[in-house]
Structure 1
Amino acid sequence: MTETGKPRLEKTGAGEPAPTGTPIPAGDGSPVPAGDGSPVPPGPRFTVPGWAKRIAAVNEAWTFGVLVLLVAFFTIAAPGTFLTQYDITQIATNAAIYLVLGVGMTFVIIVAGIDLSVGSVLVLAAVLSGEYTVHHGGAESGWGTITVAALIALATGLVWGAVQGLLVAKAKVPPLIVTLGGFGAALGLAQIITGGQDLTGAVSGKLQHSIGFGKLFGQIPWLVVIAFGTTVLFGLVLAYTRFGRYTYAIGSNAEGARRVGIAVDRHLVLVYALAGLLAGLGSVMWLAYFGTTSIAGHSTDNLKVITAVVLGGASLFGGRGSVLGTVIGVFIPAVLTTGLIIIGVQQYWQDVAIGVVLVLAVYLDQFRRRSRDRG
């Protein structure tokens, strides 16, 4: 107190006077003494653990969370009938072919491309493979014919994908246009070759009973084993090899990648060739499981595969994505479709639900991009 009886004023850190005895908040948030000298405890604080922040920042964590919620919902909605051993086997088997296609699409989308032709390439590869089988023993053909027919399917997909890659990389035609044209051209060639009718005797019985319906150790379908092996192999390639690093670099900034010495055009050709090769592998799996070329049954394969990759966290703008995310993304529509069937939802609503999920996934991707750009 001053001699006049008024409180003495002191300068605070903000440059404003404050009465003596008034507690001044400490910069580090520690308790400060009040006028009577007793400490004033700080307000309650909640700090998110570092490990939780790291998990939340991983795209696959969000996607896996959606998958877990779907499984939990259908398990509660249909107790005892959903997620039985039979359901798990069927979901995994039905997802196997789309997973193989999705692995190739993952590489394409990470380089900021798109491939609308995968379904038609699968059909064309199956038709050419089937034509060879028809003329070399048909349904009674042996492993020699099976091997050559499989190589024909793989080569068809590889060459078709490489041609599309050349048009994208060298001719500078937008990938949307190139692969849309490839979608129509491949399907048209398949229809010309077969007259629009599925081939009879296009699949060896040995292929169907071994790869198509056989199971490893009597438990795991061979289709699932093939899909798993393909996923692990190319997941490691994407995550740990120079090819994978170049894929991310080109998708993030193609011109920057070119300036540091990456052969961008050659890499794009290889990426589209890989997508075609895996479409060829998918055709072999399809023939083994369904026993027919199914010419009219693949018009929406491209949308299903792109949906899976985007749901898995890959960005349509390039530079981000993972094979692990694609695995999760493939199983979301598979679980959703199976669950809706079990609870009795009409098939048309299933398509609506999957479409809504895709739009939400793309919106989430754009929201993340805007947040990242602001932060």
Structure 2
Amino acid sequence: MTTTRETPAVDGLPGIGSARPLRARLVSSNTFWIFLVLVALLVVFSLLRPETFPTFQNAQLLLIETSVLLVLAVGMTFVIITSGIDLSVGSVLIFSGMVAAKTMEGLSPGGNASAAGWGVITVGMVAGVLAGGVWGLVNGMLIALARIPPLIVTLGTMGAALGAANLLNNGSDINTVPTALNRTLGYGTSLGVVPNIVLVAVVITAIGGWLLHTTRFGRYTYAIGSNREAARRSGIAVTRHLLLVYLLTGFLAGIAGFMSLAYYNSTTIAAHTMDNLDAISAVVLGGTSLFGGVGSMIGTVIGVFIPAVLTKGFNIVGIQDFWQQIALGAVLIAAVWFDQQRRRARNSR
């Protein structure tokens, strides 16, 4: 007698070789329903504004505008799957961009980094990414070693990182960014079609997906989020792993800060104060559970694009910003409600 071995479903995605019919597995998948929502939004806005919305230029701009947020959301996915939270990523992004800009400014003759070469740009990039990593390390140590709740730790470092960024340049933005950086990473394209900043985001997302779904690091992340004590008893170094997760998130915030600097040609402090909430919203919309143990990188990608498509579509249609905020809030609440219903149904079996 032979039996069919069923591979567990990962973060809402159907398992390989599952005994359940394909239709049943798709219906129970968070990612499937979220994808349908995204497709529905694209269809609706394309029908409302066929001459403006479904264009190559609009799609390219949409991809560029979501690149920085996507990099932040990759790190946030790991954090939330461990049942944690990181409110500091927006401020860390700002701080990292400021450190990178100040470094390039300091290494340039006369303090004007506009004409700086790639040697100066590389040093600035390393400084910015390391700056983000330092904040991630601080978060990880306070959460994993001192065992202070993530909400409190990252709420504190959110304010501290933003304050430190303002202190570096007396509360003002730095607008002397190397022209080579802006032209290459900010607005440059590969093959004349794909923006370089989008390529960077795609590569980072692919690496994040590989790390989460195919490595021991990813399996440990899910295990800790599902049951931290059980993970500890099974031999997983929970403290070390949590420290690495927050360190990774800090590094990614540093990369996002450098990408933002390249695109906006400025540190743009005021433009990123809500990035932490945007990243959390995108991850939750993508089906990652706030209770931990459930999530996927493809879901996060979809979750990043849902609010972006809503905002872009509303702007093209001419709907007021106030309605955009209401719609985004309603979608977010619906996503969390749906997750709770699935969790209750699973626990009642």
Q: Same fold (TM over 0.5)?
A: yes
- TM-score by structure 1 length? 0.86
Could you tell me how far 1:110 is from its partner in structure 2?
0.2
- Residue 358 of structure 1 pairs with residue 332 of structure 2: yes
- Residue 153 of structure 1 pairs with residue 124 of structure 2: no
Identity %: 50
- Which whole-Å CA distance do the structure 2 matches of 1:200 and 1:343 have between them? 33
- Which whole-Å CA distance do the structure 2 matches of 1:54 and 1:190 have between them? 47
Counting only pairs closer than 5 Å after superposition, residues 1-375 of structure 1 correspond to structure 2 as 50-137=21-108, 138-201=113-176, 203-375=177-349
- TM-score by structure 2 length? 0.92
* 2:175–2:267 CA contact under 8 A, matched in 1: no
Could you tell me how far 1:355 is from its partner in structure 2?
1.3
Structure 1 residues 278-304: Cα deviation after superposition (integer angstroms, max 9, x where no partner): 000001110110000011221110111
| 1:107 counterpart letter in structure 2 | F
* 1:108–1:114 CA contact under 8 A, matched in 2: yes
Highest CA radius of gyration, 1 or 2? Answer: 1
| 2:127 counterpart letter in structure 1 | I
Could you tell me how far 1:73 is from its partner in structure 2?
1.1
User: Tell me, what secondary structure is at the counterpart of 2:272?
Assistant: coil
* 2:83–2:293 CA contact under 8 A, matched in 1: yes
- Which whole-Å CA distance do the structure 2 matches of 1:111 and 1:306 have between them? 14
Could you tell me how far 1:58 is from its partner in structure 2?
1.9
* 2:175–2:265 CA contact under 8 A, matched in 1: no
Higher alpha-carbon deviation: 260-269 or 294-303:
294-303
Could you tell me how far 1:181 is from its partner in structure 2?
0.4
Structure 1 segments (4+ residues) deviating >2 Å = none
Could you tell me how far 1:357 is from its partner in structure 2?
1.1
Query: What's 1:28 paired with?
Result: none
Could you tell me how far 1:204 is from its partner in structure 2?
0.8
Structure 1 residues 325-348: Cα deviation after superposition (integer angstroms, max 9, x where no partner): 000000001111010001100122
Could you tell me how far 1:133 is from its partner in structure 2?
1.1
- Which whole-Å CA distance do the structure 2 matches of 1:303 and 1:82 have between them? 26
Q: CA RMSD in A?
A: 0.9
- Which whole-Å CA distance do the structure 2 matches of 1:151 and 1:353 have between them? 39
Structure 1 residues 159-216: Cα deviation after superposition (integer angstroms, max 9, x where no partner): 1101101100111110000000010000001111111110231x11100001111001
User: Tell me, what secondary structure is at the counterpart of 1:112?
Assistant: coil
Relative contact order higher in (CA < 8 Å, ≥ 6 apart) = 2
* 1:248–1:319 CA contact under 8 A, matched in 2: yes
User: Tell me, what secondary structure is at the counterpart of 1:113?
Assistant: coil
Larger proportion of helix: 2
| 2:335 counterpart letter in structure 1 | A
Query: What's 1:16 paired with?
Result: none
Question: What is the aligned residue count?
Answer: 326
Structure 1 residues 111-157: Cα deviation after superposition (integer angstroms, max 9, x where no partner): 00000000000000111111111122211110000000000111011
| 1:267 counterpart letter in structure 2 | H
Higher alpha-carbon deviation: 260-269 or 78-87:
78-87
| 1:61 counterpart letter in structure 2 | F
User: Tell me, what secondary structure is at the counterpart of 1:81?
Assistant: coil
| 2:36 counterpart letter in structure 1 | G
| 2:174 counterpart letter in structure 1 | L
Could you tell me how far 1:263 is from its partner in structure 2?
0.3
Structure 2: gaps (5+ residues): 1-19
